[in-house]
A and B are shown apart, each in its own frame.
Chain A
Amino acid sequence: MKNILTIFRKELRSYFNSPVAYIVLFVFLIITGWFFTSSLFLGQVVTMRNVFDIIPFIFLFFVPAISMRTLSEEKKSGTIELLLTKPISDTDIVMGKFLAALALTGIALAFTLIYVISLTFLGKIDLGSIIGTYIGLLLMSGVYISIGIFASSLTENQVVAFIISFLMVFALFLLNKVLVFLPTSLASILEYISIDYHFGSIARGVIDTRNIIYYLSGITIFILLTRASLERRKW
């Protein structure tokens, strides 16, 4: 636990030491801000719906952008060798990096609370559904981040890592949208794998353990895959 925290602190600091965090947060807030103000001032509706609809799209780029360097940069510069010869387990390293990226997404989401707060002055909002959506978004980004870190562990090249994780995340995201073209027997399985399906029910404010388990197992699978990918050096 102490080691995870050490890696976490170092990673979070290096996000804010480089322009990455600032650029990504800036773009995130510009886009969500536009959707918030347009629905409020142009649409005259007191709702977070438009913001929440666009965030999963932003995550498709946002998460690969913050996770692409996590391991590929260490591999390229050779610092991975330093890290892996310290008395700390591979899992701790991956977990520390995962949590730091999750914290950065959390910070981005926390900024959007400003919108929620301003809405409470203007009308009645469905707090349950909003809390559910935030939890859902955080879990969704968790799955994306674990995929991003896994992609980053496969290559020394950040751009390649970005493209791999974008494609994987995009496929997971798109799955729900192509179901209509598939035979029903296959569709029900793919629907379960689709991230959007689970997000939909959480966003309604229904926190179902099945959905939570879906997200947590997704995160676990990709963290284990990342660990296996780090082990690969040994063979």
Chain B
Amino acid sequence: MSIKVENLTKYYGQQAAVNDITFEINTGEIVGFLGPNGAGKSTTMKMITTYLTPSAGKIYVNDLSTESESLEVRKKIGYLPEQNPLYLDMNVLDYLEFAAELESVPKSDIAKSIKKMVGVCGLGDVQHKDIGELSKGFKQRVGLAQAMIHEPDVLILDEPTSGLDPNQIIEIRKLIKQLGKEKTLVLSTHILQEVEATCDRVLIINKGQIVADGTPDSLQDKFRGQVQISLVLKKDSVDKDLVLRAISSIRNIEKARISKEDELSYHLLIAGRKGEDVREDIFRKMVSMNQVILGLHQEETSLEDIFRQLTTKSN
């Protein structure tokens, strides 16, 4: 067991930022904290990294308590805080050396571990530059290198790809996936594709509580509701009422309506019962009625839909 969180609660004044959450993260897992801004993701991470103290509840990292064995816990953790704060006036190598010394990497190993991190994070070309001169993508790599300089068992990355351009995001994700092979990795994000692209497991957090926990696939299965089908019919010679009635009569179809209509076509939205594929029935029906199908497409419930469902319903 790598991280164990028990009944964790954190109050900011009167407001509970994190409200009685409990979870466990196993060694080697890549876990994504997903949630809207202000859901309590960063607060939870700050408590795991000992920056904040819980108002109630306990956290154990490798069976060490974050409160009574704070310094020991910090040695096990590599942390990239939100917004990736860095000393902009230092150059990359000096900064990594500073980080290594603070993490009590033995003096004889410092040069070796800096070299390794420069290699892994692709910092070779910029290692002599001041951090302030670097692009956002490179700064992010410096932040990651700093977090891993002492080869921690647990890596905690708070929004590691925020503010990067799409190419940089893909590179950082690749890096994260590669790192996650050897370590327990917790990352937070409010971007869904990120979780789908990198994580083994997702914790969806909303208003300080965990509202869902599972692999991205299992969550999709669990929350898959109706099947939604969009159907586009050529407009000429269509009697729309007749078509709607015919479709509604097909087995396993719950509802059908026209969502849009333009000069050439009708767009229909059809809701089918969970787990049933009704596309073939629709196709045969339309053919039998001599209607021309321009498009027929079944939409999967995406993680995005689940996310929206879970994080907005209580508002």
Binding site for B on A (CB under 8 A): 2-3, 6, 10, 13-14, 17-18, 77-89, 233-235
Contact status B87-A87, CB under 8 Å: no
Chain A residue, CB-CB nearest to B47: A234
* Bound CA–CA A78/B86 (angstroms): 8
| B253-270 Cβ-contact flags toward A at 8 Å (1 or 0) | 000000000000000000
Contacts of B49 in A (CB 8 A): 85
Contacts of B90 in A (CB 8 A): 10, 13-14, 17
Excluding A2-B104, A82-B81, A87-B71, 12 further A-B contacts by CB distance (< 8 Å) are A18-B89, A77-B86, A78-B83, A79-B85, A81-B51, A82-B85, A82-B146, A85-B50, A85-B74, A86-B74, A89-B71, A233-B52
- Jot down 10 A-B pairs with beta carbons below 8 A, ordered by A: A2-B101, A10-B90, A77-B87, A81-B46, A81-B81, A84-B51, A85-B51, A86-B103, A87-B104, A235-B53
B77 within 8 A of A: yes
| B53-83 Cβ-contact flags toward A at 8 Å (1 or 0) | 1000000000000000001101101010111
Contacts of A233 in B (CB 8 A): 51-52
Chain B residues bordering chain A, tally (CB within 8 A): 29
| Interface members, chain B 228-250 (any A CB < 8 Å) | none
Contacts of A84 in B (CB 8 A): 51
Chain B residue, CB-CB nearest to A73: B87
Chain B residue, CB-CB nearest to A17: B89
10 shortest A-B CB distances, which residue pairs?
Answer: A78-B85, A234-B53, A87-B74, A86-B102, A6-B101, A79-B85, A85-B49, A81-B81, A87-B75, A87-B71
Contacts of B23 in A (CB 8 A): none
| B11-54 Cβ-contact flags toward A at 8 Å (1 or 0) | 00000000000000000000000000000000000100111110
| B79-112 Cβ-contact flags toward A at 8 Å (1 or 0) | 1011101111110001000110111100000000
Contacts of A83 in B (CB 8 A): 102
Contact status B102-A6, CB under 8 Å: yes
* Bound CA–CA A87/B102 (angstroms): 7
Contact status B79-A85, CB under 8 Å: yes
Contact status A87-B103, CB under 8 Å: yes
Please give the distance in Å from A3's CB to the nearest CB on chain B.
7
Contact status A78-B81, CB under 8 Å: yes
Contact status A6-B85, CB under 8 Å: no
Contacts of B102 in A (CB 8 A): 3, 6, 83, 86-88
Contacts of A6 in B (CB 8 A): 98, 101-102
Contacts of A17 in B (CB 8 A): 89-90
Question: For chain A, what secondary structure do more than half of its interface residues adopt (helix, strand, loop), or is it mixed?
Answer: helix
Contacts of B72 in A (CB 8 A): 87
* Bound CA–CA A88/B74 (angstroms): 9
Contacts of B83 in A (CB 8 A): 78
* Bound CA–CA A81/B46 (angstroms): 9
* Bound CA–CA A78/B79 (angstroms): 13
* Bound CA–CA A17/B87 (angstroms): 12
Chain A residue, CB-CB nearest to B49: A85
| Interface members, chain B 120-175 (any A CB < 8 Å) | 146
Contacts of A80 in B (CB 8 A): 85
Contacts of A87 in B (CB 8 A): 71-72, 74-75, 102-104
Contact status A81-B101, CB under 8 Å: no
Chain A residue, CB-CB nearest to B146: A82
* Bound CA–CA A234/B50 (angstroms): 9
* Bound CA–CA A77/B72 (angstroms): 26
Contacts of A86 in B (CB 8 A): 74, 99, 102-103
* Bound CA–CA A229/B49 (angstroms): 19
Contact status B74-A81, CB under 8 Å: no
Chain B residue, CB-CB nearest to A234: B53
Chain A residue, CB-CB nearest to B104: A87
* Bound CA–CA A84/B49 (angstroms): 9
Please give the distance in Å from A69's CB to the nearest CB on chain B.
11
Central interface residue in A6, A17, A81, A88, by most chain B CB within 10 Å: A81
Contact status B77-A85, CB under 8 Å: yes
* Bound CA–CA A24/B24 (angstroms): 53
Please give the distance in Å from B297's CB to the nearest CB on chain A.
46
Contact status B52-A234, CB under 8 Å: yes
* Bound CA–CA A17/B132 (angstroms): 13
Chain A residue, CB-CB nearest to B70: A87
* Bound CA–CA A87/B152 (angstroms): 12
* Bound CA–CA A85/B146 (angstroms): 12
* Bound CA–CA A81/B80 (angstroms): 9
Central interface residue in B71, B85, B86, B89, by most chain A CB within 10 Å: B85
